Structure 1
């Protein structure tokens, strides 16, 4: 009808990228590290999101114990 599955999937990836970038900017990482993560997320959206999810900087105040 109107919206294709690719369009919905693309919207979900876009929302996840924006959320990941916001979390990266708010993290305690150094500025250089933040820039590298943001560039990685923007250039490789799906793969960059997966790398960020498993190895990226955590948001300020959130620590793994």
Structure 2
């Protein structure tokens, strides 16, 4: 497999993860300013943005949803 093909598939995976993250960011019940900051961070710094969002972003939303169910 050529190196160009590998980078192509890496780019596809990163783009798919970004779309998935942006979809969840926009669908959250956060304020619009916070959503926009997350989207900008994920788009302009893909690797650190996705890692930081995975660490900080979904947990806060998931924790709030669990509290609302009880």
Is TM-score (shorter-chain normalized) higher than 0.5? yes
**Counterpart in the other structure of 2:17:** 16
Task: Point out where structure 1 has 5 or more consecutive residues left out of the alignment.
Answer: none
Q: How far apart, CA to CA, are the structure 2 residues paired with 1:27 and 1:39?
A: 15
Give the superposed CA RMSD.
2.3
Which has the greater radius of gyration? 2
Q: How far apart, CA to CA, are the structure 2 residues paired with 1:41 and 1:31?
A: 15
In the superposition, the TM-score normalised over structure 1's length comes to 0.83
May I ask how many residue pairs the two structures share in their alignment?
A: 63
In the TM superposition, structure 1's runs of 4+ consecutive aligned residues that sit over 4 Å from their partners are none
Greater helix share, structure number: 2
Task: Kindly indicate whether structure 1 or structure 2 has the higher relative contact order, using CA contacts under 8 Å at least 6 residues apart.
Answer: 1
In the superposition, the TM-score normalised over structure 2's length comes to 0.77
Task: Point out where structure 2 has 5 or more consecutive residues left out of the alignment.
Answer: none
Deviation at 1:62, TM superposition (A): 4.1
